[in-house]
Each structure stands twice: as structure tokens, then as C-alpha cells.
Amino acid sequence: MTADERRSFGDLQHRLERALLTLDDDEARCLVDGARVGRSAVEVIESVIAPALDHLGRAWEAGTVALSQIYMAGRLCEVIVNAMLPELDGARESGSLVAMATLEDYHLLGKRIVLAALRASGFPVRDYGQGTVEEIGNRAVADGIGILLVSTLMLPSALRVKDLRSLLSGRGSTARLVVGGAPFRMDPHLGGEVGADEVGTNTGDAIAIVRRLTGRSS
Ligand code: B12
């Protein structure tokens, strides 16, 4: 990304945050549509929408933004992102040995984006939705999954990856566990502590990791 592009994305992010905080959905959509010209959906999500939500989350932590505003900003971005990404038709992916889930967490946007980016890059990935350690682990064992991608945004959910690892090992699964989401970004050692094989911070990482683990270019 050039310095000019970085500046322009920074300005867009700032304007998008203002639109989200004032619940101006027309302005938010308009800003995102403008950013889309000549760029892929994933590029705009990664460079503008995800950083805006991340920044608002920090503002909430600092006490300068209300939870209700975060809630509405999240919902609005969810609608905008869903409209930008292709429909997730999992039928074609049902035989795949790669799966992705959100673990004990209702922050679903990250999985939605990573899944769409992997599928758009030619990797069939099963969508396990959102579930508990037992639901996700037992399903992965039954399907003979080789790579399990897990998204968590809450620290307590991230810590549950350790239980998922134990369940998989206990049932003889050698699935590689790939994790991502805010807690892993905030603490670079957390992935190792919970027994994950790989940690990724964005869609680019997810694609590179799956490419390396499957030994396929797509
Ligand atoms: C929007 C939001 C919400 C929305 C969620 C809407 C939705 N449908 O997803 C709502 C309002 C519902 C919500 C609720 C809550 N939230 Co909230 N939320 C956020 C916020 C601001 C942004 C999250 C987001 O959508 N980001 C945009 C997406 C695209 O980014 P992402 O998920 O991180 O995914 C990217 C990468 O992480 C990566 N990635 C993600 N998963 C994976 C997986 C793999 C394998 C790989 C390789 C990569 C990868 O790729 C993605 C694309 O780049 C974050 C702040 C933050 N810094 O993340 C807080 C945050 C996650 N929330 C937080 C909290 C505490 C809560 C609540 C408990 C609040 C409350 N008191 O009720 C609830 C709990 C909900 C629950 N039980 O799950 C805390 C968690 C703190 C912690 N340490 O546990 C955060 C970090 C805010 C903060 N700074 O304190 N939240």
C-alpha cells in the first residue's frame, strides 16, 4: 500500500467511524461504496471497516463510546459486509477437510470474512457456524477434518481453545488448529499457550496458512 493510499484509507476510516457513531447508515454505505471503486471487497473490509470497528472497540474500552454505539456500529457493519460478500453456499464445500467455526462467541463478522476470502481464493471450507467446544470438536472428529480454523473475539472463548485441543487429541484427531481474532492479536503468546498450531491476524494470513498446510496454491 502506498503512503497516499494509507492516508486515504485513514481518512475514510475516520469518516466511517463518525457515520457509525451517529447511526448515519446512508453515509456509512456511501463511504464504503466509494472505497470499493477499483478494490476488492476483502481489501476494503480489511483496510477500512475492520480497523474502524477495532478503533471503536478501543474507544469503548477507554470509556469514550457507549456499548449501545458499539452494538449499533457492529450491526450496521454486519449488514454492509454481508451485502459486499458473495452468498455463503456451503453445498460445494461439504466434502472438504478444512472447516471454520466461531467458538463460544457471538462475534461472527471475522469468521464471515475469513471464510469468504478462503473460498474466493479457491479453498473449499466447511462452515461450522458458531458452537461450543463439544459441538465443534465432535463434528470435526466425525468429519475427519485436517485443518480447523477457529475465530474468537472474547478472551474467555480464546482460552477454551485449550479444551478444544484436548478434545481433539483425546479422540485421536490430528487436525491442525488455526486460530485468530482480537485476543490473539492482543497477546502474541496466547496461541501457543492454548495449544494452537497456527495464529493468523487477518484474511491474508488465513489464506497463507491454509495454502502452506494443504500444500496447494488454491
Ligand atoms: C462489533 C463488536 C461487537 C458486536 C458483534 C457483532 C457481530 N455480529 O459480530 C456486539 C455489539 C454484538 C458485541 C458484543 C459484545 N462484545 Co464486542 N466487540 C466488537 C468490536 C468493536 C469489533 C469486532 C468486529 O466485528 N471486528 C471486525 C472484524 C472483521 O474483525 P475480527 O473479528 O477481529 O476478524 C478479523 C481478524 O481478527 C481475523 N480473524 C478473525 N477470526 C479469525 C480466525 C482465523 C483462523 C484467522 C486466521 C483470522 C481471523 O480476520 C478478520 C478480518 O481481518 C470488538 C473490538 C475489537 N477490537 O475487535 C469488540 C470486542 C471483541 N467485544 C468485547 C466485548 C467484551 C463484548 C461483550 C461482552 C460486551 C457486553 N458487555 O455485552 C459482548 C459479548 C458478545 C458475545 N457473547 O460474543 C471485547 C472483548 C474483550 C475481551 N478481552 O474478551 C472487545 C475486544 C472490545 C474491547 N476492546 O473490550 N461486540
User: Could you report the per-residue pLDDT of 32-81, keeping only the tens digit for each?
Assistant: 999 888 888 888 888 899 899 889 989 998 999 999 999 899 889 988 98
Intra-chain end-to-end CA distance of the chain, in Å: 24
Q: What is the mean pLDDT of residues 77-100?
A: 79
Q: Would the CB of 57 count as within 6 Å of ligand 1? A: yes
- At 209, the pLDDT band (50, 70, 90 cuts) reads very high
Q: Would the CB of 50 count as within 6 Å of ligand 1? A: yes
Atom of ligand 1 nearest to the CA of 199: 47
Residue among 130, 125, 160 at smallest CA distance from 145: 125
User: Who has greater pLDDT, 6 or 197?
Assistant: 197
Q: 85 alpha carbon to ligand 1 midpoint, in Å? A: 19
What's the Rg (C-alpha) of the chain? 18
pLDDT at site 88: 61
pLDDT at site 163: 98
Atom of ligand 1 nearest to the CA of 178: 45
Answer whether 152's CB lies under 8 Å from 103's CB: yes
pLDDT at site 1: 65
User: Based on the number of CB atoms within 10 Å of its own CB, is 73 exposed (0-12), middle (13-18) or buried (19 or more)?
Assistant: buried
User: C-alpha distances in angstroms, 105 versus 60, 147, 161?
Assistant: 19, 20, 12
Answer whether 175's CB lies under 8 Å from 148's CB: yes
List pLDDT tens digits, range 114-169.
Answer: 988 888 888 889 999 999 999 999 999 999 999 999 999 999 999 999 999 999 99
Q: Is 24 left (phi over 0), alpha (psi -120 to 50) or beta?
A: beta
pLDDT at site 167: 98
pLDDT at site 177: 98
Residue 204 pLDDT more than 70?
Answer: yes
User: Based on the number of CB atoms within 10 Å of its own CB, is 189 exposed (0-12), middle (13-18) or buried (19 or more)?
Assistant: exposed
Which residue from 70, 107, 147, 161 has its CB within 8 A of the most atoms of ligand 1, so it is best to mutate?
107
pLDDT at site 96: 78
The amino acid occupying position 205 is D
Residue nearest to ligand 1 atom 52, measured at CA: 202
pLDDT at site 99: 97
pLDDT at site 218: 56
List pLDDT tens digits, range 1-35.
Answer: 677 777 777 889 999 999 999 999 999 999 999 98
